[in-house]
Amino acid sequence: MPSTPTPTLPCVRVLATGGTIAGAQTSGSRGYQAAAFSIDTLVAAVPQLAALARLEVEQIAAIGSQDMDEAVWLKLATRAQAALAEPGIAGVVVTHGTDTMEETGYFLNLVVRSEKPVVLVGAMRPATEISADGPMNLYNAVAVAAHPAARGRGVLIVANDEIHFAREVAKTNTTQVGTFKSTHRGLAGLVNAGRLHLYAPPVRRHTAASEFSVGEANALPRVSILYAYAGMGRELIDAAVQSGARGLVVAGVGDGNLNAPALAACADAVRHGVIVVRSSRTGGGVVERNIEVDDDRLGLLVAEELNPQKARVLLMLGLTRTADPRVLQEMFFTY
Ligand code: GLU
């Protein structure tokens, strides 16, 4: 699917949030400051973009994505939804740090109601680094967002010549440019210097067909993630409940398992009205109901394939609609 320039180029809105793609080294080759460059500077550094699309840029935030939070998600989702509602906009690109890109991407995948492409893009090397990956990633992201074949596939993440579904992708390496992997259902496609090769569309509900919308992001309830380990006690689970969490996601060992003290604390949390979802710290596989843990008896939910950070996003949005564990469990089978 070549991106042949047409007399009237598509218009793509670029929403910038910062990250390493906008990062500058501070001294030598070690250490850098994320979000040092404005989006105008990044776009100007890739003049080839002018042959792909007309770009409109908007700076939403200027942060490393370790500082991403619900307030920025809300602003980003609102601005993306507004852009996509404009008939003249073909798609949206979001520049973003890679640390939490998967969470932002999955959040947008659940709340942005549009068939038009939304593409998150970042870089592993700062803009001033040797062989910076940002310029080609940005070029590819704009090519995907401008292409009609990318419509209806949910929110996508472009990096290292690959196109990932936001639901599937995870950052798996601290520094390598090939950090993003989609281990369960595979890639959304490839993009070679702006030329798209799209694979099968996603099967889970998303974007235009989602029951969630931007308005609900206004009052996201507190959901905490707790990481399980050999010899885990109950104290952190109890602390999360006492601090007012409405939901807990446990990054369980193996198949989402927890030892007896942690399970007892989770069961107590459920009795206090807190929703508890079992995910896994392994980075792959499906957590199913009632395998080694009696979820039915304890009142626990499972995250299926969602990693803990994405399970948290879905649980926060789910809790804005219901506190019924059966309905919430169904959401984990749907999205
Ligand atoms: N911590 C930074 C961020 O997420 C750097 C990671 C990156 O962008 O690659 O914004």
What structural domains and CATH numbers belong to the chain?
A: 11-209 (3.40.50.1170), 223-334 (3.40.50.40)
Q: Please indicate whether residue 34, judged by its CB atom, sits closer than 6 Å to ligand 1.
A: yes
**pLDDT at 19 exceeding the cut of 60:** yes
Burial zone of 256 (CB within 10 Å; 0-12 exposed, 13-18 middle, 19+ buried): buried
Q: Please indicate whether residue 98, judged by its CB atom, sits closer than 6 Å to ligand 1.
A: yes
For 170, phi then psi, to 5°, come to -140, 145
Burial zone of 275 (CB within 10 Å; 0-12 exposed, 13-18 middle, 19+ buried): buried
CA distances 249 to 3, 62, 290, 307, Å, are: 42, 29, 17, 10
d(CA 99, ligand 1 centre) in Å: 5
Q: Please indicate whether residue 20, judged by its CB atom, sits closer than 6 Å to ligand 1.
A: yes
Q: Would you say 318 and 335 are in contact if contact means Cβ atoms under 8 Å apart?
A: no
Report the alpha-carbon distance of residue 246 to residue 256 in Å, rounded.
20
In this predicted model, which residue has the larger pLDDT, 86 or 40?
86
Q: Please indicate whether residue 274, judged by its CB atom, sits closer than 6 Å to ligand 1.
A: no
Candidates 193, 34, 28; CA nearest to 101 is 34
pLDDT tens, 281-322?
A: 999 999 999 999 999 999 999 999 999 999 999 999 999 999
Burial zone of 261 (CB within 10 Å; 0-12 exposed, 13-18 middle, 19+ buried): middle
Please say if 6 is a catalytic residue.
no
Residue of 17, 20, 98, 100 marked active site: 20
Report the alpha-carbon distance of residue 54 to residue 171 in Å, rounded.
30
Tell me the pLDDT band of 218, cut-offs 50, 70 and 90.
confident
d(CA 273, ligand 1 centre) in Å: 36
Q: Would you say 274 and 298 are in contact if contact means Cβ atoms under 8 Å apart?
A: no
**pLDDT at 4 exceeding the cut of 60:** no
